[in-house]
Structure 1
Amino acid sequence: MTFFKQLKKPVLALVTVLTVVSSLSVASFFAPKASAATLPDQTDSSLNIDAKAAIAVDAKTGQVLYAKNAEQTLPVASMSKLLTAYMVLQAIDQGKLKWDQKVTPSDAAQEVSQDTTLSNVPLKKGESYTVKSLYQATLIYSANGAAMALADAVGGTQKNFIDLARKEAKKMGITDAEIYTANGLTNGEVKDGKYPGASDTAENKFSAKDMAILSQRLLKDYPEVLETTKIKRMNFNNGTDQTVMENWNWMLPGLAKAYSELPVDGLKTGTSDSAGACFAATVNKGGHRLITIVLGAKHDSQEDLSRFEETQKIMSYCYNNYTYTTLTKGMTFKKTNTLPVYHGKELTTKVSLGQTTDVWLKSGGTKEQLQAKAVGDKKLYKKDGLQAPLKKGQIVGTLEVTAKDQKLYYLDGTTHLSAKAQTTSEVKKANIFVIGWRAVTSLF
């Protein structure tokens, strides 16, 4: 026993010195961070979409199933109101606004609301309206004055609201959008509510990818928005008057371009001479929700159905050409690299999926074509590996999943599905003698 006590201190000292000498750079154990990928001009030329830009993405994972000029910034007109709706829902969630709170529209909002050439519910001067009624008018009937009244309620002034909206968009990862108005009209069309320093012709511009990011965040953070966007008809009560609000989304069940096979329940149209006919749509089939964006479709008249026809083509393409595949927690992939373990009884650990997730595979594709690369969580590292001991099923990093015969694209710019990685077995800490012996042998 005395011998081991005498031996312990020299061994500890030796371990400390040799570990420092022989330790490798931590960075060498981490794969370099993937740079943001650019979407192809068109992911499938066989799908002929008659619009300036379009995209289709999975609402949950952000996987891009189809893209055409998806990163080109274009006017979006009233689709801008989705950002206004997000800001209102956020203010409600944070307790800054209440649904039954009364709002008195500013002179600019009231003046815009009286323009019969625009989509509007007429707001009376000096009258007050609930946040809920203005919100419904904004999403269902695309009421421009109502959107401005909501912007004032959130930001205090139109300018303050736009500044807040720009910051929120950047938080979402939207960095190249141009935002000047809360309703999508040009800067000059919002009268005294225009953004200072910008020209009267300045208008909101987003890429199809940006609109998909916004739509995904809206559905993820505030899924209750669908309870309003799916309303086909509602009356706006203006005291003694009532305005019948018909939803401009004609793909809703029972309307002119309803898609019988797919239950469309949102989101927002947008129309102007510069933007053409635009549409942010969402559909849920068998629990698998898609978001589609069409920008700059043909716009010859108010009755033009082109944006809905192009949207239907994209939806049909996605559901007919892809298989929604669920990857269950604990699933392993062939040839997945192990992760290093620092001072573990074993020097590496195998990993598996630490969560259930999903991927759309081209028709005919199977799970067998998937492969994954494990990337360790730096916060769990000690020197050159995951610090032992490790429990079975412990989350230790991420798995970057790719498909052998299919290029994957995601809204965050990556070309792989990211999922949590967990250990497949327990890894105990090595004893002092094993650690010392490894340090000695590493010198040779």
Structure 2
Amino acid sequence: MKKILGIIFILLIFWGGTAKADDFEAAAEHALAVEVSTGKILYEKDATTPDGIASITKILTVYLVYKEIDQGHLSWDSKVAISDYAYHLTANSDVSNVPMEDREYTVDQLVNATLIASANSAAIALAEHIAGSEAAFVDMMQAQLQDWGISDASLVNASGLNNTYLGENIYPESEPDAENQMSALDVAIIARHLITEYPDVLKITQQTSAAFAGTTINTYNYMLADMPYAREGVDGLKTGTTELAGACFVATSNENGMRVIAVVMNAEGGEENDYARFEVTNSILDYVQNQFELVTLLSAGDSYNSSTGSVLDGKKKIVEAVAKSDLKVVQKKSDNQSDKIIANTQTVTAPVTKGQTVGTAVYADNDLIGSGYLEAVPRVELVAQSEVERSFFLKVWWNHFVNYVNDYL
């Protein structure tokens, strides 16, 4: 009897621990976690409601800088003049912590100041240099969001400041106290584009300090190595704080071999506790690490359930279909990995070359969180494992004739 009670007690503890994990709730108004390679959402809390994002804005500003460089319109060594508008903001200790006395800096210097020290004047200077004015740059930001399918964001500047600090330089027809607003989902989409398209940005965001024009600038990301709330794996990305937005943070970290983005907006207790946003982020990353893993359901070169593609006019009627690349997905650690793939093959006409696409293998994910994925569910191409030669022309002609008779006569 004692043994039975002991087993029941252990099962109750285990069941309670599982329930606790499933009932996890981040201590923030809005939050989201997503795995980068698959785009799978791993956690969300009111993640589609637009709200203030403060200096998290700067990841979009910097994305457009990288894009301009990538397109050859700008270089890291390009000189950027500091306008009176941007320069005068440096005199306000509430909005800037980087001096701009030289009135001209390189793109490289300004990007570092923007990401590491969250320098508002640096972000504004980059925006003015690229688009001619900050307002024109905001239009570029909006256009980029539209390209990504983001339509619920409201942007008024390149820095994330409240308009009350900008005087006569506010975006045309915007409210005097307006601020940039996005949802946690929007922020995750931007962050994913930034670190996947321009991964070198992480070499900047993982720095705790850097030299800038004879002075040292320091990060506000306290989760980086040797910082007060350091967590192994964290190498970015951006903090943000305003009265409207509260304490915000978009982090990226390597967890269980997964690249994870975690978004926290208006962390509870952020006004009193400088570490609140990092504590929330840490809890989200702990949850992700404990609950999820990246698994390979189908390896490159392997077939799924002996899938084949049909071949017309070939010496063989079918061709073996194999995965062109690994099909990697994120699943809960307790999930059953079997019967999670839907293979769709098509009919191809000979000659068929080895490696020619003959279908797709799609992950059938029934455990969706929030909107499920930032984009499409994971899938890979299925390709011909071998070549199939075309049949003798008389046989091809006869097959076509028979098909015509069957179809039309």
TM-score, scaled to structure 2: 0.85
Partner residue of 2:383 out of 407, 419, 422: 422
Matched, 1:204 2:196: no
Match of 2:373 in 1: 410
Matches of 2:175 and 2:90, distance apart in 1: 22
Partner residue of 2:301 out of 317, 325, 330: 330
State the Cα deviation string for residues 16-45 of structure 1 (Å, max 9, x = none): xxxxxxxxxxxxxxxxxxxxxxxxxxxx85
State the Cα deviation string for residues 89-138 of structure 1 (Å, max 9, x = none): 122222322223222211111122221012431223x7212222211111
Q: Number of residue pairs matched?
A: 382
Partner residue of 2:287 out of 305, 313, 317: 317
In structure 2, do the counterparts of structure 1 residues 108 and 117 end up closer, same or farther at CA, with 3 Å as the change threshold? Answer: same
Displacement of 1:84 after TM fit? 0.8
Matched, 1:214 2:187: no
Displacement of 1:301 after TM fit? 3.4
Displacement of 1:64 after TM fit? 1.5
Partner residue of 1:276 out of 246, 251, 273: 246
Contact 1:334 1:371 in 2 (8 A): no
> What amino acid is aligned across from residue 328 of structure 1 in structure 2?
S
Displacement of 1:366 after TM fit? 4.7
Alignment of 1:107-118 (within 5 A): 107-118=84-95
Q: More deviation in 131-140 or 323-332?
A: 323-332
Displacement of 1:393 after TM fit? 2.6
> What amino acid is aligned across from residue 89 of structure 2 in structure 1?
V
Matches of 1:137 and 1:73, distance apart in 2: 27
Matches of 2:166 and 2:305, distance apart in 1: 58
Matches of 1:269 and 1:302, distance apart in 2: 16
Contact 2:321 2:384 in 1 (8 A): yes
In structure 2, do the counterparts of structure 1 residues 438 and 346 end up closer, same or farther at CA, with 3 Å as the change threshold? Answer: farther
> What amino acid is aligned across from residue 405 of structure 2 in structure 1?
V
Matches of 1:291 and 1:439, distance apart in 2: 56
Matched, 1:250 2:222: yes
Alignment of 1:99-110 (within 5 A): 99-110=76-87
Give the secondary-structure state (helix, strand or coil) at the position aligned to 1:100.
Answer: coil
Matches of 1:71 and 1:396, distance apart in 2: 38
Contact 1:50 1:310 in 2 (8 A): yes
In structure 2, do the counterparts of structure 1 residues 353 and 69 end up closer, same or farther at CA, with 3 Å as the change threshold? Answer: farther
Give the secondary-structure state (helix, strand or coil) at the position aligned to 1:422.
Answer: strand
Contact 2:38 2:330 in 1 (8 A): no
Contact 1:79 1:270 in 2 (8 A): yes
Match of 1:10 in 2: none
Contact 1:109 1:193 in 2 (8 A): no
Unaligned runs of 5+ in 2: 1-20
In structure 2, do the counterparts of structure 1 residues 395 and 170 end up closer, same or farther at CA, with 3 Å as the change threshold? Answer: same
Give the secondary-structure state (helix, strand or coil) at the position aligned to 2:223.
Answer: coil
Displacement of 1:314 after TM fit? 1.3
> What amino acid is aligned across from residue 63 of structure 1 in structure 2?
K
Partner residue of 2:74 out of 72, 97, 117: 97
Matches of 1:401 and 1:99, distance apart in 2: 41
Match of 1:15 in 2: none
Matches of 1:192 and 1:275, distance apart in 2: 23
Alignment of 1:285-300 (within 5 A): 285=255, 287-300=257-270
> What amino acid is aligned across from residue 233 of structure 1 in structure 2?
S
> What amino acid is aligned across from residue 244 of structure 2 in structure 1?
S
Matched, 1:437 2:402: yes
Contact 2:61 2:123 in 1 (8 A): yes
Matches of 2:386 and 2:367, distance apart in 1: 31
After TM superposition, the runs of 4+ consecutive aligned structure 1 residues lying more than 6 A away are none
> What amino acid is aligned across from residue 123 of structure 2 in structure 1?
A
In structure 2, do the counterparts of structure 1 residues 53 and 392 end up closer, same or farther at CA, with 3 Å as the change threshold? Answer: same
Give the secondary-structure state (helix, strand or coil) at the position aligned to 1:211.
Answer: helix
Give the secondary-structure state (helix, strand or coil) at the position aligned to 2:88.
Answer: helix
Contact 1:394 1:422 in 2 (8 A): yes
Displacement of 1:198 after TM fit? 1.3
Alignment of 1:30-41 (within 5 A): none
Give the secondary-structure state (helix, strand or coil) at the position aligned to 1:368.
Answer: coil
Matches of 2:304 and 2:368, distance apart in 1: 17
Match of 1:83 in 2: 60
Matches of 2:76 and 2:322, distance apart in 1: 45
Match of 1:5 in 2: none
Displacement of 1:183 after TM fit? 0.5
Give the secondary-structure state (helix, strand or coil) at the position aligned to 2:328.
Answer: strand
Match of 1:41 in 2: none
TM-score, scaled to structure 1: 0.79
Q: More deviation in 174-183 or 385-394?
A: 385-394
State the Cα deviation string for residues 354-402 of structure 1 (Å, max 9, x = none): 21241111113354242214265xxxxxxxx433332233123432211
Matched, 1:192 2:153: no
Contact 2:350 2:388 in 1 (8 A): yes
Partner residue of 1:175 out of 131, 151, 160: 151
> What amino acid is aligned across from residue 85 of structure 1 in structure 2?
V
Alignment of 1:376-395 (within 5 A): 385-395=347-357
Matched, 1:398 2:363: no
Displacement of 1:322 after TM fit? 1.4
Give the secondary-structure state (helix, strand or coil) at the position aligned to 2:93.
Answer: coil
Displacement of 1:346 after TM fit? 5.9
Partner residue of 1:368 out of 338, 346, 351: 338
Partner residue of 1:61 out of 14, 31, 38: 38
State the Cα deviation string for residues 43-75 of structure 1 (Å, max 9, x = none): x85111111221111222212122222222111
Contact 1:108 1:191 in 2 (8 A): no
Displacement of 1:434 after TM fit? 2.2
Displacement of 1:420 after TM fit? 1.8
Contact 1:120 1:141 in 2 (8 A): yes
State the Cα deviation string for residues 199-252 of structure 1 (Å, max 9, x = none): 1222111111111111111111111111111111224326xxx3x422111000
Give the secondary-structure state (helix, strand or coil) at the position aligned to 1:390.
Answer: coil
Contact 1:352 1:421 in 2 (8 A): yes
Unaligned runs of 5+ in 1: 1-43, 377-384
Match of 2:208 in 1: 232
